[in-house]
Structure 1
Amino acid sequence: MSGTAPQIWIGAGGSHDMVRADAIVMLRLDETGRLTAQLRDDAKVSVTLLEGSSGARPPEDFHRQLIRAVAELADSSGAQFLRARHEAGGWRWISEPL
């Protein structure tokens, strides 16, 4: 990211780990609901952003919702943190300032 664009960080796998959004080159949502991100590096490292589960599976377009949220936050000022949250029977991306 440039010095003028805000940094956007994404919570990884329900832990305290975070990945910077501009390091992601590919998102994959598999049939179990596991969302992984491939990072921009020579080793092609993948990071789990959301563990899959048989019970509370995220919607089919959840990875697209993440892209939309990152694009919207790119217009904001300051660093932002995005994380997946399951509540009231549905999944959504929550943002908060860092």
Structure 2
Amino acid sequence: MTASIGIWAQGDPSGESVLYRWEADQQTGYVTFEVPTRRFRPADDSGQPIGDLSFDPAVGEPSGTAAGVNQRLFNQVVVAIMRAYRRAGTAPATAHAYYY
């Protein structure tokens, strides 16, 4: 299990879509957070979606697939960003998660 995940907004987190970079288990990746709908998608470093994998909070679980994306880490990143979002009421600048 991942001990920690570092998550940082790439650019201004006040927009309608925020790109986040994450690092965990010697891996890195990106997710986009569509703030109005609270939907998440794995992305490349320019914010372009990878595959059709997404997390829709209305459904409460991920759906679709994305080649090369670790779905366990994707889920952990989504949960960390959503926790920080709920605390702040806005898209967070960081959303680090620690597991012990």
Which structure shows the higher strand fraction? Answer: 1
- In our comparison, the structure showing a higher alpha carbon Rg is 1
TM-score (norm 2): 0.30
